[in-house]
């Protein structure tokens, strides 16, 4: 260990405007930062002991700043790294400025700076994946070298004018086979951190730990940024997953596993992944799409997943209306969505689902009808999200090029016009962003979303009670009686 340089990886709490630290959905380690840590230790074994991981929710806002200052203080160069998200970019900016005041060098990465690299206060930003940058930066040469892959640098001239130079495009080609070993430095996660799953993934309060073995998604939905952020879908070998899982189990007190792959069930060796999970005896949850859950093979996968400890699957169904699904760029229709839910349900795997409202042609009547269709499915829970224009998504490109119009009529000329701006676009969901619905204003969409969430809470409770009582019974055998009972309560 040398004190020429120390690295502080800061997992900032995800606290969107209007929310409070500690009260947001989930609290999990940053796999992205843990991969960077592993890449640094692999590139320069002498860095072991000079890389530390800080968790803002665990330490508190001021406590986290102070812990980083105390850690980096004795080193000749203190390097702070953190991840930026559009909804919480203002918080990353505040943290970076506080660290720069102490003379530390700040590097930012993540989805926000990848799309808006010149918006950051950091000294340099990494566009796309950061492992290649770490492999180039370490062993540390004593200064921040130019020409690091994916890195963009803030230059300040003698008059204080700022400009940016360096990488123009994000790096997205790092295949899972090129990740460091172990993929994630779980050994750096301090033991006292209390992680928690979001409601849709919570397994009876068990301490969750996340893992991922692929990058990207086989689909390219029009509202999603997975492709822009991760590039083409690529999966890791089961051997790597097994090694990473062993590392996770050795260094954390995980009581449940959360897979963060966009579509775990499409992994070509998913049955081997299930075998590995079965041997751990731990319950787990994952994301997948409706596509791999069709027909006999879908039924088989659902059953094998359940036997391997899968308790709940999150399906981004997004709609039960074929026109709306097509508009969203989903590669599944309403029948496929229903079949995927039923196959999981029949295998005794709970289903969390998501629904997007606020498409250009949505009306209250269309949405109410679709909500009724959703609530006729055996779901554990259903998230309601108002369509937002994520940077890098197909929808954002259409809005920027004038092929889609925001409902507020605002002139959109560049990606910067879509940066969160509550004064321009209002502070309701999606915070500081325009909506695209021609027939419902942002206020009306929020009112509908509140109504829908109330209805979901009211109707999914009896649904879940009945599902528990009828374990193993085909849903269609008791569906009519159940829906009649629910409609009487409406």
**Cβ 290 to ligand SF4 shortest distance, Å:** 9
CB of 210 to ligand SF4, least distance (A): 15
Residue 109's region, left for phi above 0, alpha for psi from -120 to 50, else beta, is beta
Structure-block tokens of residue 445:
């969409």
Return the number of the residue (154 or 289) whose C-beta is nearest ligand SF4: 289
Between 196 and 289, whose beta carbon lies closer to ligand SF4? 289
Shortest reach from residue 212's CB to ligand SF4, in Å: 12
* C-alpha dist (Å) from residue 161 to 137, 157, 164, 434: 26, 5, 10, 32
Q: Which is nearer to ligand SF4, 149 or 216 (CB)?
A: 216
Tell me which residues in 308-337 interact with ligand SF4 (CB under 6 A): 316
Q: Looking only at residues 288 through 307 of this chain, which bind ligand SF4 when binding is defined by CB under 6 A?
A: 289
As a whole number of angstroms, the distance between CA 205 and CA 198 comes to 10
Structural contact between residues 162 and 155, judged by C-beta atoms closer than 8 angstroms: yes
Q: Which is nearer to ligand SF4, 110 or 149 (CB)?
A: 110
| Residue 224 CB, nearest approach to ligand SF4 (Å) | 3
The answer to whether the beta carbons of residues 404 and 395 sit under 8 Å apart is yes
CA distances from 470 to 21, 341, 344, 387, 476 (A): 39, 16, 15, 35, 11
Peptide bond into 430 cis (omega under 30): yes
Least distance (Å) from ligand SF4 to the CB of residue 293?
A: 13
Interface residue with ligand SF4, options 56, 262, 350, 362 (CB under 6 A): 262
Shortest Cβ distance from residue 242 to ligand SF4 (Å)? 24
Give the x/- contact pattern for ligand SF4 in 201-230, rule: CB under 6 A.
Answer: ----------------x-xxx--x-x----
Q: Please say whether the beta carbons of 152 and 164 come within 8 A.
A: yes
Q: Give the number of other Cβ atoms within 10 Å of residue 94's Cβ.
A: 14
Closest approach of ligand SF4 to the CB of residue 316, in Å: 4
Collapse the DSSP code of 413 into the 3-class scheme (helix H, G, I; strand E, B; otherwise coil) and give the result. coil
Preceding amide of 40 cis, omega within 30: no
Place of tokens 């509140």: 450
Give, in order, the Cα–Cα distances in Å from 384 to each of 12, 138, 173, 327, 457.
25, 44, 33, 17, 12
**Closer by beta carbon to ligand SF4, 262 or else 429:** 262
Which residue number, 262 or 350, has a Cβ lying nearer to ligand SF4? 262
Contacts of 246 (CB under 8 A, 6+ apart): none
Closer residue to ligand SF4 in complex, CB, 280/385 = 385
Please give the Cα distance from 12 to 212 (Å, whole number). Answer: 20
CB-nearer residue toward ligand SF4: 103 or 232: 232
Reduce the DSSP state of residue 269 to 3 states and report it.
Answer: coil
Largest CA distance in the chain: 76
Q: Tell me the chain's radius of gyration from C-alpha atoms.
A: 23
In whole angstroms, the minimum distance from the beta carbon of 218 to ligand SF4 comes to 7
- Smallest gap from Cβ 137 to ligand SF4, in A, equals 30
Contact letters for ligand SF4, residues 407-436 (x by CB under 6 A)? ------------------------------
Q: Which is nearer to ligand SF4, 56 or 262 (CB)?
A: 262
Nearer to ligand SF4, 219 or 428 (CB): 219
How far apart CA 102 and CA 85 sit, in angstroms, is 24
The helix (run of H) or strand (run of E) holding residue 32 is helix 31-43
- Least spacing, CB of residue 140 vs ligand SF4, in Å: 36
Q: What is the total count of residues that contact ligand SF4 (CB under 6 A)?
A: 9
Residues within the interface to ligand SF4 (CB under 6 A): 217, 219-221, 224, 226, 262, 289, 316
């Amino acid at each position: 260990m040398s004190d020429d340089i120390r690295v502080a990886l800061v997992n900032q709490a995800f606290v969107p405007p209007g929310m409070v630290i500690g009260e947001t959905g989930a609290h999990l380690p940053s796999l992205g930062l843990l991969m960077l840590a592993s890449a640094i230790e692999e590139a320069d074994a002498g860095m072991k002991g000079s890389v530390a991981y800080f968790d803002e929710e665990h330490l508190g806002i001021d406590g986290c700043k102070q812990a980083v200052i105390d850690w980096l203080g004795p080193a000749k160069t203190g390097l702070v790294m953190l991840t930026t998200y559009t909804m919480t970019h203002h918080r990353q900016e505040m943290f970076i400025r506080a660290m720069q005041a102490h003379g530390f060098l700040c590097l930012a990465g993540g989805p926000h700076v990848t799309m808006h690299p010149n918006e950051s206060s950091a000294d340099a930003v990494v566009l796309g994946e950061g492992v290649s940058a770490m492999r180039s930066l370490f062993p540390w040469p004593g200064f921040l070298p130019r020409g690091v892959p994916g890195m963009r640098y803030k230059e300040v001239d003698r008059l204080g004018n700022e400009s940016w130079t360096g990488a123009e495009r994000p790096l997205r080609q790092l295949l899972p086979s090129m990740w460091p070993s172990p993929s994630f430095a779980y050994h750096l996660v301090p033991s006292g951190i209390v992680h928690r799953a979001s409601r849709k993934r919570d397994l009876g309060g068990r301490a969750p730990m996340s893992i991922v073995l692929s990058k990207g998604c086989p689909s390219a939905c029009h509202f999603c940024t997975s492709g822009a952020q991760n590039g083409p879908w690529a999966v890791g070998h089961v051997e790597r997953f097994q090694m990473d899982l062993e590392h996770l189990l050795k260094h954390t007190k995980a009581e449940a596993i959360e897979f963060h792959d966009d579509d775990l069930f499409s992994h070509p060796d998913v049955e081997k992944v299930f075998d590995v999970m079965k041997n751990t005896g731990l319950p787990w949850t994952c994301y997948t799409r409706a596509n791999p859950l069709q027909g006999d093979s879908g039924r088989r996968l659902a059953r094998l997943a359940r036997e391997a400890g899968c308790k709940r699957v999150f399906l981004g169904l997004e709609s039960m209306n074929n026109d709306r699904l097509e508009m969203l760029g989903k590669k599944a229709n309403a029948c496929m969505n229903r079949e995927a839910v039923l196959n999981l349900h029949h295998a005794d795997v709970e289903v969390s689902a998501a629904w997007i409202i606020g498409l250009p042609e949505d009306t209250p009547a269309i949405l109410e009808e679709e909500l009724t269709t959703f609530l006729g499915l055996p779901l554990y829970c259903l998230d309601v999200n108002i369509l937002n224009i994520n940077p890098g998504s197909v929808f954002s490109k259409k809005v920027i090029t004038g092929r889609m119009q925001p409902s507020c009529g605002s002139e959109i000329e560049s990606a910067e016009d879509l940066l969160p701006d509550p004064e321009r676009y209002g502070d309701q969901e999606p915070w500081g962003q325009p909506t695209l619905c021609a027939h419902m204003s942002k206020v009306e969409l929020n009112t509908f979303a509140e109504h829908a969430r109330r209805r979901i809470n009211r109707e999914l409770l009896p649904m879940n009670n009945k599902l528990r009582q009828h374990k193993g019974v085909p849903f269609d055998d008791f569906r009519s009686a159940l829906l009649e009972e629910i409609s009487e309560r409406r």
